[in-house]
Chains A and B, each alone.
Chain A
Amino acid sequence: MIEIRVDENSCNGCGLCVKDCPMHVYELRESLSVPVHPENCMGCLSCHEICPAQALEHKGVYPSKRHYIDIRVCEMLNRVI
Chain B
Amino acid sequence: MSDGTIEKLKGAFTSDLVYRSEDVPLTCIPHPEELEDTLHGLMKLNGLIIRSLEEVAGRGANAVTYRAGRKYGHEVAKYFEKMENIEEALKELSDILRGQFSFEIWKPADKTSYIIQENGSTFIYLVFHDCIVRQTLRRNGQVQGGPLCQTLYGYVVGAIEEITGKKAKLEIVHTGPNACLKKLILQ
A45 touching B109, Cβ below 8 Å: no
Interface pick from A4-12, A27-35, A56-64: A56-64
What is the distance, in angstroms, from A32's C-beta to the closest C-beta of chain B?
A: 23
B134 neighbours in A (Cβ, 8 Å): 64
- What total of chain A residues lie within 8 Å of the partner, measured CB to CB? 22
Query: In the complex, A43→B180 CA distance in Å?
Result: 9
Query: In the complex, A46→B179 CA distance in Å?
Result: 9
Partner of A64, one of B39, B173, B178: B178
Residues of A35-58 at the interface with B, using a CB-CB cut-off of 8 Å, are 37, 39-40, 42-46, 48-49
Q: A22-B174, A62-B129, A64-B134 are in contact. Are A43 and B179 (CB under 8 A)?
A: yes
A63 touching B174, Cβ below 8 Å: no
A65 is an interface residue with CB less than 8 A from chain B: yes
Residues of B127-153 at the interface with A, using a CB-CB cut-off of 8 Å, are 127, 129-132, 134-136, 138-139
Partner of A39, one of B109, B129, B138: B109
What is the distance, in angstroms, from A29's C-beta to the closest C-beta of chain B?
A: 20
B43 is an interface residue with CB less than 8 A from chain A: yes
A67 is an interface residue with CB less than 8 A from chain B: yes
B108 is an interface residue with CB less than 8 A from chain A: yes
Of A22, A45, A64, chain B has the most CB atoms within 10 Å of the CB of A64
Query: In the complex, A37→B108 CA distance in Å?
Result: 10
A49 neighbours in B (Cβ, 8 Å): 176-177
A44 touching B176, Cβ below 8 Å: yes
B130 touching A44, Cβ below 8 Å: no
Q: A64-B179, A68-B138 are in contact. Are A42 and B127 (CB under 8 A)?
A: yes
Q: A42-B127, A42-B179 are in contact. Are A65 and B135 (CB under 8 A)?
A: yes
Query: In the complex, A23→B180 CA distance in Å?
Result: 12
Q: Which residues of A contact B (CB under 8 A)?
A: 22-23, 37, 39-40, 42-46, 48-49, 61-68, 70-71
Q: Which residues of B contact A (CB under 8 A)?
A: 36, 39-40, 43, 102, 106, 108-109, 127, 129-132, 134-136, 138-139, 173-181
